[in-house]
Amino acid sequence: MSSITLRGLTKRFGAVAAVQNLNLEIQEGELVTLLGPSGCGKTTTLRLIAGLEVPDAGEVLFSGRPVTALPPERRNVGIVFQSYALFPHMTVWQNVAFGLEMRRESARLIRDRVGAILDRVQLRGLGDRYPHQLSGGQQQRVALARALVMNPAVLLLDEPLANLDARLREDMRFYIRQLQREVGITTVYVTHDQAEAMVLADRIAIMRDGRLQQIGPPEEIYRRPSSAWVAEFVGLSNFIPGRVAGRENGLLVVRTAAGTFTCAGQAEAGADVLICVRPEALRFDDTYPNRLRGTVRERVYLGNLVDYRVEAPGGLQLRVQADPSWAVAPGGTVNLSFDPSAAWAVDAREG
Amino acid sequence: MASTEGILRAGVRVAPRRGLPPWLLIAPTLLLLTVFFVVPYVNMVRMSLLVKPAIGAYEPEFTLANYARALLDPFHWRVMYRTFSLAGVTTALTLVVAYPVAYHLTYAPRRRQRWLLMLLISPLLVSLVVRGFAWMILLGRVGLVNLTVQRLTGHELVLIGTPAAIVIGLVHVYVPFMALAIAGALQNIPPELIQAARSLGASPWAAFRRVVWPLSLPGVQAGTLLVFVLAVSSYVIPILLGASNVLVMPMLIVQTLLDAFNWPLGSALSMVFFGLTAGVVAVYLRLLARGMPWTRA
Amino acid sequence: MDARMTRRGTWLAILVTAVYVFLIAPMAIVVLAALNAGDYLAFPPQGLSLRWFIRAAHTEPFVRSFLFSLKLAAWVTVASTLLGTAAALYVVRHSARFRNLLRLAILAPLQLPAILTGIALLIFFLATGIGTRGMRALFIGHTLVSLPYVFLTVSAVLAGFDRSLEEAARSLGAGPFTTFRRVTLPLIKGGVISGALFAFITSFDQFPVSLLLVSVGNTTLPIQLFDYLRFSFDPAAAAVSTVSVLMSVAIVLIVDRLVGLQAVSWGAQ
């Protein structure tokens, strides 16, 4: 089990910098997801950790030991590829045993270890099948088994659930999370699916254009996004532009075109900010000190929620999501309010 | 109601009655193949069973004498053996030479691949006679090889007229075929498989041996088969480079047909020889299939 | 990836370069031999000159067979292109049940040794009285072995063809012929032309089939060259060969420009 340290990691492909000056610390045993849109550098980062790419600058350390110069076969990493990369010409058993054979382990040890891991992923009895004879979920588990049987220092997963249908994906998410907790292995998990990241991660590292935007536990990312972009990438968000007038009782006072509001945040007085309010934080009553009036323009029934578009003063187009029990009809005027501690101010300049 | 539904279901894919029936597209080709390919071959089988008279090419009388002669004359067997062994050596050498080329081609960057393909394919479009001629120049008495050897060792090395010259010439002709067949299979191997093997501790050589090579076998199979069949039936190169010292089956068959004017025997020899070739191919395929169990499962 | 891989890569590059030299050098030598100013076929050449090209151009058998080959190849190309394209269209689009069988049948002339086909055809033509005079027999024989190339290249292009383009045209009122002419044909043009070029060069360079089907006065260039080489060995033959090599190079460049060699090589697999 190793911790992973990335220091000043940079990788260019031609003129494009896929990863720029990345600094990241991953603790032993934790599961960090690299989350971001396509092209943000998350897969490249994973491949740099694996040794499948050589960085142009910076270093990779496992538990303080530099591994940057080591090829993949010497880093003791377990990789699960998006396509699983199961050897089509080998049976399940042979696939899982491959890494141990490369290490020249004894036949008995191989037999025991492969048997044990196949039991653990519930594939005992399928050892003689070829990959093309298995379902997607089964192939997924073979890929996991093959990586884990080596007792690697680090487990790397590159969008492993992308090829599964929605239902299976959800089941497999929990499965992977459970397995990782049982084994306790340091894991880096690449995904573009925000919901997946929230379910799996101890911490989420959000990347954009090769740079790290924010890293933290899912709740922190959601409630305290570091920028408007992060706020929009992880869930839906309303943004109310305004200027910070000062601080009061630990909260920011912000003057906006729709009124003066208080919210959490770290900006200075006089700064231009956007108050980030999640759709579910807006209520159709006067409960909270931050109040507005608006006109309901659209209403969409989603089953567990109802989604509204509300027009508010200052040209604000607000998105509200509420329990269906709030019977609000389109066209009417409504009162809205939101809890200051549930609102967060981010810098108005695009970071 | 029914007609509307019918139209909607048929959609635009159905050709309206105005168009020509599709089978007209294939009719001329099938006609050509049947009359001028299938029939002549059937006729050749028939010819092999006819009698060869003293004058003329054949008589419409049935006999097995031609097959008897083809199969019982040890001379024929010697020539067949020589042909098969030349072809075998050629195929093996071609594989050894072509595999690295195919590997290099597959993993070359796109732009270079284009030029490499041009280099590889252009010899294919040059006539066999020209290529044989080129080797005649190189391997003959006034050829580069002999001159170089003379200058270095003082001895002569004239390869024209030896089986070695034929093998060199054939390998030269067939490397592009083999390389393209193998490269085709290599192209289909996802790079992640190699990366997975490396991440599991395989050195580059182990990754090649355990992953790339087995998965390239379909291409190797296609290539070796193609080259073997081509080598066995080659005529120009053996004649030009063997300089009448080396006799292979195609030469013997043509001689029998055109010089001796013995069509029945020539046909019988063709049937026997190429029948044997087909047999060898079948056995080879069976053996290879056993070495690739994952393709049957 | 790492230093070790680069070293291996260099060894491979050296080995492969040697092979490419092995492949190309003989042709280069033929061209050099043709430019030899001297009297004999020697290497290295003693000065450069075009005299052997001029000599070859004045050698009647060469000129006659060259023109004959050109004419024959032209006819074969037309026939192969028409038949091969039509066959490809049928097999790719209309033949669900018999597709594999048809493919096998059309490609059979390539799978069976050409010399065997030549033998079978010769016996057939002579036995049926069609004979080998004129261009008839050669035309049929060449078409049999050239057609498959057109079939292969056009099939490859058709396999990647988006049918919805044709359907859109039909829904806009174009009949089947018009759709073919204005939508399909322009888009498969590349495959058709490269197939035609392969057919042309296959016919022009064809040997085994020609060997058995030529008759007196109607010889193709490769056969003529072959006969010449049995008895003489001089740069005139090299000059003729050089023309052939130049034609091939030109064709490769054209095909690459049209469809890209990668498409043709991998598509035909």
Tens digit of each residue's pLDDT (9 = 90 or more) over C98-130: 888 888 889 889 888 888 899 999 989 988 888
In order of A135, A269, C20, the CA distances from B129 in angstroms are 55, 89, 20
C-alpha angle A11/A12/A15, rounded to 5°? Answer: 165
Overall number of domains in chain C = 1
Q: Is the pLDDT of residue C2 over 50?
A: no
Task: Out of B192, B215, B294, name the one closest to residue A130 (CB).
Answer: B294
C15/C23 Cα distance (integer angstroms):
13
**Looking at the DSSP assignment, which residues form a beta bridge with residue C48?**
C36
Please state, rounded to an integer, the average pLDDT across all residues of chain B: 86
- Given pLDDT bands bounded at 50, 70 and 90, which one contains residue B149? confident
Find out whether C92 and C158 touch, Cβ atoms under 8 Å: yes
pLDDT tens for residues C81-102? 999 999 998 888 887 788 888 8
Chain B nearest-CA residue for A87: B193
Is residue C4 situated within a structural domain?
no
Cα gap C191→C2, rounded to integer Å? 41
How far apart, in whole angstroms, are the C-alpha atoms of residue C263 and residue A143? 33
Say if CB C252 and CB C235 are below 8 A apart: no
Does position B13 have pLDDT exceeding 60, yes or no?
Answer: no
Report yes or no: A116 at the C interface, CB cutoff 8 Å. no
Q: Does A128 touch chain B (CB under 8 A)?
A: no
Strand partners for A317? A311
For C193, other C-beta atoms within 10 Å of its C-beta total: 18
Weakest mean pLDDT among A157-171, B75-89, C35-49, C161-175: C35-49
> Which chains are adjacent to chain A, needing at least 3 Cβ pairs under 8 Å?
B, C
User: Which range has the worst mean pLDDT, A58-72, B51-65, C67-81?
Assistant: B51-65
Of B30-34, B258-262, C199-203, the range with the lowest mean pLDDT is B258-262
Domain that holds residue C179: 60-266
Q: Does A107 touch chain C (CB under 8 A)?
A: no
d(CA C252, CA C259): 11
Query: Which residue did the predictor score with more confidence, A273 or C258?
Result: A273
The pLDDT of residue A235:
87
What angle separates helix B39-48 from helix C114-127, to the nearest 10 degrees?
Answer: 80
**Of C157, C215, C216, which Cα lies nearest the Cα of C187?**
C157
Q: What is the pLDDT of residue B53?
A: 81
* Residue that wins the pLDDT comparison between C43 and C242: C242
For residue B12 the two structure tokens come to 């635009």
Q: Is C46 helix (H, G, I), strand (E, B) or coil?
A: coil
| Candidate from C12, C117, C252 with C-beta closest to B118 | C252
Residue C26 counted as domain residue: no
The DSSP secondary structure of B125-166, one letter per residue, reads GS-HHHHHHHHHHHHSTTSHHHHHHHHHHS-----TTSHHHH
Q: How many CB pairs under 8 A join B and C?
A: 254
Query: ipTM of the predicted structure?
Result: 0.81
Among C2, C5, C8, the strongest candidate for a mutation testing the A interface, having the largest count of A CBs within 10 A, is C2
Q: What pLDDT digit, counting tens, does each position of B109-144 carry?
A: 888 888 898 889 888 878 888 888 889 888 887 777
Name which of B104, B291, B215 is nearest A86 in CA terms: B215
CA atoms within 13 A on the CB side of C266: 16
Q: Do C248 and B126 touch (CB under 8 A)?
A: yes
Nearest CA-CA partner of B179 in B210, B213, B224: B224
Residue numbers of chain A with a pLDDT score lower than 50:
351
Q: Please check whether residue B57 touches C, CB under 8 A.
A: yes
In a domain, C104, yes or no: yes
**A 223-282 → C contacts, CB under 8 A:** none
Per DSSP, C268 falls in state T
Question: What is the structure's pLDDT at B16?
Answer: 43
Tell me whether residue C41 is in a domain.
no
Is A69 near chain C, with CB under 8 Å? yes
Contact B294 A90 (CB under 8 A): yes
Cβ neighbours of C11 (radius 10 Å):
10
> Which chain A residue's Cα is nearest to B214?
A89
Nearest to C184 by CA among C65, C54, C86: C86
Nearest-Cα distance to chain A for B218, in Å, is 12
Using left for φ > 0, alpha for ψ between -120 and 50, and beta otherwise, residue B105 falls in: alpha
CB contact under 8 A, C123 and B267: yes
Q: Using an 8 Å CB-CB cutoff, list chain B residues near C86.
A: 25-26, 28-29
Neighbouring C-beta atoms of residue A312, cutoff 10 Å: 21
H helix and E strand count, chain C: 13, 0
Q: Is position C20 within any domain?
A: no
- Contact call for residues C152 and C268 (beta carbons, < 8 A): yes
Q: Is the pLDDT of residue B69 over 80?
A: yes
Count of helices and strands (H, E) across chain B: 15, 2
Q: CB contact, 8 Å: A73 with chain C?
A: no
Residue B205 has pLDDT above 80, yes or no: yes
- pLDDT of B162 > 70? The answer is yes
3-class DSSP string for B247-259:
CCHHHHHHHHHHH
C230 in any annotated domain: yes
Give the residue with greater pLDDT, B23 vs B223: B223
Distance CA A167, CA A174 (A): 12
Domains and CATH numbers, chain B: 86-242 (1.10.3720.10)
Predicted confidence at residue B137, as pLDDT, reads 84
DSSP state of C218: B
Q: Which of B202, B215, B297 sits opposite A73 (nearest CB)?
A: B202
- Contact C2/A71, CB-based, under 8 Å? yes
pLDDT of residue C42: 64
Asked if the C-beta of B128 comes within 8 angstroms of chain C's C-beta atoms, the answer is: yes
CB distance from C1 to chain A under 8 Å? Answer: yes
Check: CB of residue A213 under 8 Å from CB of residue A204.
Answer: no
The two three-digit tokens of residue C30, written as one number: 């033929």
| A216 secondary structure, DSSP code | E
Whether the pLDDT of residue C266 is over 60: the answer is no
Nearest-angstrom CA–CA distance, B162 and C176: 60
Percentage of residues of chain C with pLDDT beyond 90? 23
Q: What is the CATH classification number for the domain harbouring C221? A: 1.10.3720.10
The H or E element containing residue C14 is: helix C3-34
